[in-house]
């Protein structure tokens, strides 16, 4: 467990005070049914209860004593059917956990309409114990708010992971389909424990080869392993695959030969993977081929693929991250400009997948203006779990707070309270809703390259299940399951996590700055970079620092990106009086001597934020050091070293950024600013 492999499913023995209480409420495991999914639930309960209680728990075929844990569906168990539980509202994936009486014995029932609901309920029951909640007197019911809860792996077929900081791809294409690495099952268990029900196996910068029969056999092997855990596989497809693989002269989505090729390809996939989820597509973005190559629209392209998948029940997740050479004066406007006019034109098995912000997974962005702007199209929110722009795997940055900020943002699209969370919970009549997270998983022993990055995988799953969940509750649960039940540890780590992302914003891109990272790899500062081939590749394009001031004018006097938001939002962000400080330089270009709401100058405030970021990291280091007696040495030492790296990097970010901006502002450093060491 100290090597991090077990993630949040460590199932360490609970303390004495809980053991007796739990032991009497978990005396036997009674599986009702015998499907692979029910067997997975049974084995997880054995593993979890055995680990936490420190002794094996008997399995039985019927409830024969007090403290039984009975799980299944009314269809497979007369005992469960007889309880007449209110399962109807729970849908296909929800569950109910209740303390009941079965044949005169005290028991806990975990019931659902489907086996996968039962498995989710089993994980929830174990979580109660992992987080030291009572397991008697239970009456819990829960169901996911979104239908598609998907991890997007940006994994190439040579196992390099684009923007991956945790080793190579988990998928060993070389030994598949014959070798079923047990790790594939552990991956599925971890996902099922948080309700993730889909995995796009390959990079959105897709290689056509994934669609060849040879690879599809390997894909099918993974699908077979994941199926009992409720996880469907999806593939990213290259739009020009009919040319690359089919020998066609075109990939024009309206060409009958092209359409026939995709139809046959879909049939070929479903022959191997009957519950295949569908396609994810990056088209006409960053050099990828797409329908615009043939003067067709995104809707033409998406609908062609949707038609091929439709007879089999598959979906298309069509990305709105379009980033191409264009003459717009503001990159932030492109997705809205291209997609808004297509609202209502997509087939009913297409979702448009939109990043949280209009640029690109920055440490902070305002919400994407497409949310609220496409009332007829199901929008899937895309989050980045891997920390491409937030310090890779060594910086401690809990992203739950960042995602909650987007989910809670009020688009005002249909009046006040139209949050992004509520918008993505609305399938616009198609029944399709979803959320995607770009995975941070690789073959490192601890899966994510650091212990704390496991929390981001975990939080993504929890928010996918319930986009209105509290980031703090999630952090606390994860901490209890991952580190210790000791209140001091739980409180300290939760508090560290809760302030960690703001620290990163402060030392990298405070007050609404964005895209200041060094070229290509995006690690470390580069606010001065100005020599790259296209204007919007350069950090200077985003900061616009000059002798007068700093910031990107996106109001009517500038790019007017602000007009893409609903009027109340545009009014709030567009006025210097009301724009929140955190978005100031995203929407406005202001003089260095501009007076902030606090009364200090922008220049002083900027420096203060950089300082605050560095100090916050020092605070994380102090808090972590205080936990030495309670954390196993291996994990403690690793995180200590990572925090030291983060501190060095924070100083580098602060010093380099201030030095560059000072070369523009020509202003003295404010009194009290800690001099660079
Ligand atoms: O964030 C940027 C990344 C690219 C990525 C692209 C995208 C997969 O720098 O590596 O490509 O976004 O989301 O398509």
Task: Report pLDDT for 672.
Answer: 80
**What whole-number distance in Å separates Cα of residue 30 and Cα of residue 361?**
46
User: In 10 A of CB 140, how many CB atoms?
Assistant: 15
Ligand 1 atom closest to Cα of 438? 13
**Residue 386 CA to ligand 1 centre (angstroms):** 11
CB of 388 within 6 A of ligand 1: the answer is: yes
pLDDT higher than 80, residue 325: no
For residue 11, being part of any structural domain is answered with no
Give the dihedral sign, CA 392/394/397/398. positive
Q: What is the pLDDT of residues 91-142, one digit of tens each?
A: 999 999 999 999 999 999 999 999 999 999 999 999 999 999 999 999 999 9
Please check whether residues 388 and 399 belong to one and the same domain: yes
Residue 174 has pLDDT above 80, yes or no: yes
- Does 2 or 471 have the greater pLDDT score? 471
**Is pLDDT of 329 > 90?**
no
| Phi–psi pair at 601, nearest 5 degrees | -80, 160
User: From the CA of 19, how far away is ligand 1's center (Å)?
Assistant: 47
Residue where the block lists tokens 């569906």: 73
Ligand 1 centre distance from Cα of residue 156 (Å): 13
Q: Which atom of ligand 1 is nearest the CA belonging to 285? A: 14
pLDDT at 147 over 60: yes
Ligand 1 binding pocket includes 204 (Cβ within 6 Å): yes
Q: Which of 286, 323, 335 to mutate to test the pocket of ligand 1 (most atoms within 8 A of CB)?
A: 286
- Last residue of one domain, picked from the residues 570, 588, 606: 588
Q: Whose CA is nearest to atom 2 of ligand 1?
A: 360
Counting residues of the chain whose pLDDT is more than 70, the rounded percentage is 99
| Ligand 1 centre distance from Cα of residue 439 (Å) | 12
Q: How far is the CA of 163 from the centre of ligand 1 (A)?
A: 8
Question: Could you list the active site residues?
Answer: 286, 360, 388
Question: Does the Cβ of 346 fall within 6 Å of ligand 1?
Answer: no
> What residues make up the domain containing 509?
484-550+590-677
Q: What is the predicted ipTM?
A: 0.98
Is residue 28 classed as helix, strand or coil in its secondary structure?
strand
Tell me what pLDDT residue 677 has: 45
Domain match, 575 and 599 both: no
Same domain, 476 and 507: no
335-394 pLDDT tens trace = 999 999 999 999 999 999 999 999 999 999 999 999 999 999 999 999 999 999 999 999
324 lines ligand 1 (CB under 6 A): no
Which residue from 156, 163, 363 has its CB within 8 A of the most atoms of ligand 1, so it is best to mutate?
Answer: 163
Mean of pLDDT values over 30-54: 97
Query: Mean of the per-residue pLDDT values for the chain?
Result: 97
2 domain-assigned: no
Of 452, 482, 512, the domain-final residue: 482
Residues 232 and 359 in one domain: yes
Number of domains into which the chain is organized = 4
Flag whether pLDDT at 328 surpasses 90: no
Q: Which of 455, 482, 509 is the last residue of a domain?
A: 482
Note whether 66 and 26 are within 8 A (CB). Answer: no
Centre of ligand 1 to C-alpha 164, Å, is: 11
C-alpha of residue 288 to centroid of ligand 1, in Å = 11
Same domain, 577 and 598: no
| Domain-embedded: residue 157 | no
Residue 199 sits in the same domain as residue 127:
no
C-beta 282 within 6 A of ligand 1:
yes
Q: Which atom of ligand 1 is nearest to the CA of 382?
A: 13
- Return the ligand 1 atom nearest residue 389 CA: 1
- Based on the fold, state whether residues 491 and 600 are members of the same structural domain: yes
* Alpha-carbon gap, residue 467 to 461, rounded angstroms: 10
Cβ distance 402 to 364 under 8 Å?
Answer: yes
Contact 281, 262 (CB under 8 A): no
163 touches ligand 1 (CB under 6 Å): yes
* Same domain, residue pair 113 and 244: no
Do the domain assignments include residue 117? yes
Q: What is the pLDDT of residue 45?
A: 98
Q: Work out the end-to-end distance of the chain between its first and last CA atoms, rounded to an integer number of angstroms.
A: 39
Q: What is the pLDDT of residue 324?
A: 77
Does one domain contain both 109 and 257? no
User: Are 341 and 411 part of one and the same domain?
Assistant: yes
Q: Residue 628 and residue 489: Cα distance in Å, rounded?
A: 10
Neighbour tally for 410: CB within 10 Å: 18
Residue 4 has pLDDT above 90, yes or no: yes
Is 173 in the same domain as 315?
A: yes
CA dihedral 303, 309, 335, 540 (to 10 degrees): -140
Residue 676 has pLDDT above 70, yes or no: no
Question: In sequence order, what are the residues at sequence separation of 6 or more whose Cβ sits closer than 8 angstroms to the Cβ of residue 200?
Answer: 150, 151, 152, 153, 233, 234, 235, 236, 280, 317, 436
Residue 364 confidence (pLDDT): 98
Instruction: Give nearest CA residue, ligand 1 atom 1.
Output: 360
């Amino acid at each position: 467990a100290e090597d991090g492999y077990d993630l949040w499913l460590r199932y360490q023995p609970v303390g004495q005070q809980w053991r007796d209480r739990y032991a009497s409420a978990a005396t036997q495991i009674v599986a009702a049914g015998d499907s692979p999914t029910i067997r997975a639930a049974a084995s997880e309960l054995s593993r979890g209860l055995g680990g936490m209680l420190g002794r094996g728990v008997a399995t039985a075929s019927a409830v024969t004593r007090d403290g039984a844990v009975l799980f299944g569906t009314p269809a497979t168990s007369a005992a469960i059917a007889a309880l007449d539980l209110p399962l109807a509202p729970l849908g296909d994936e929800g569950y109910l956990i209740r303390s009941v009486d079965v044949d005169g014995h005290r028991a806990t029932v975990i019931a659902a309409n489907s086996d996968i609901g039962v498995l989710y309920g089993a994980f929830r029951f174990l979580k109660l114990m992992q987080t030291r909640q009572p397991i008697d007197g239970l009456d819990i019911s829960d169901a996911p708010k979104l239908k598609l809860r998907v991890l997007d792996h940006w994994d190439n077929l040579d196992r390099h992971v684009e923007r991956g900081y945790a080793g190579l791809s988990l998928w060993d294409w070389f030994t598949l389909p014959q070798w079923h690495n047990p790790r594939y099952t552990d991956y599925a268990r971890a996902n099922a424990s948080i309700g993730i029900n889909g995995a796009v196996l390959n990079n959105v910068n897709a290689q056509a080869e994934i669609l060849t029969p040879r690879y599809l056999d390997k894909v099918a092997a993974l699908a077979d392993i994941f199926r009992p855990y409720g996880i469907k596989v999806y593939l990213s497809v290259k739009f020009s695959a009919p040319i690359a693989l089919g020998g066609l002269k075109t990939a024009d989505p309206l060409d009958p030969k092209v359409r026939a090729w995709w139809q046959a390809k879909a049939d070929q996939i479903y022959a191997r993977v009957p519950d295949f989820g569908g396609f994810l597509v990056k088209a006409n973005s960053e050099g990828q081929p797409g329908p615009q190559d043939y003067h067709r629209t995104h809707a033409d392209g998406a609908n062609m693929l949707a038609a091929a998948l439709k007879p089999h029940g598959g979906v298309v997740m069509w990305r709105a991250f379009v980033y191409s050479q264009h003459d717009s004066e503001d990159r932030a406007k492109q997705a809205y400009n291209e997609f808004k006019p297509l609202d209502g034109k997509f087939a009913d098995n297409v979702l448009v997948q939109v990043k949280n912000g209009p640029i690109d997974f920055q440490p902070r962005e305002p919400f994407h203006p497409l949310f609220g702007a496409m009332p007829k199209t199901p929008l899937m929110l895309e989050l980045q779990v891997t920390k491409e722009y937030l310090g890779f795997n060594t910086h401690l940055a809990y992203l739950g707070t960042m995602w909650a900020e987007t989910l809670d943002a009020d688009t005002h699209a249909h009046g006040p309270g139209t949050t992004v969370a509520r918008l993505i919970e609305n399938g616009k009549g198609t029944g399709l809703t979803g959320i995607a997270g770009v995975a941070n998983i690789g073959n490192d022993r601890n899966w994510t390259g650091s212990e704390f990055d496991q929390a981001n995988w975990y939080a993504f799953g929890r928010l996918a299940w319930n986009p209105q969940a509290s980031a703090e509750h999630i952090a606390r649960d994860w901490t209890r399951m991952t580190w210790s039940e000791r209140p001091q540890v739980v409180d300290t780590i939760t508090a560290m996590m809760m302030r960690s992302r703001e620290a990163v914003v402060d030392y990298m891109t405070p007050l609404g700055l964005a895209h200041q990272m060094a070229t290509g790899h995006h690690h470390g500062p580069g606010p001065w970079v100005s020599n790259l081939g296209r204007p919007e590749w350069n950090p200077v394009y985003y900061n616009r620092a000059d002798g007068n001031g700093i910031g990107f004018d996106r109001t009517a006097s500038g790019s007017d990106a602000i007009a893409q938001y609903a009027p109340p939002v545009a009014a709030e962000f567009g006025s210097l009086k009301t724009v929140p400080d955190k978005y100031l330089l995203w929407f406005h270009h202001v003089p260095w001597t501009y007076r902030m709401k606090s009364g200090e100058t922008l220049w002083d405030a900027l420096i203060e934020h950089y300082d605050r970021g560095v100090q916050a990291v020092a605070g994380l280091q102090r808090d972590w050091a205080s936990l030495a007696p309670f954390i196993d040495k291996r994990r403690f030492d690793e995180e200590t070293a990572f925090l030291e790296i983060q501190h060095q990097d924070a100083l580098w970010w602060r010093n380099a950024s201030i030095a560059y901006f000072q070369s523009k502002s020509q202003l003295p450093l404010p009194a009290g600013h800690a001099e660079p060491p």
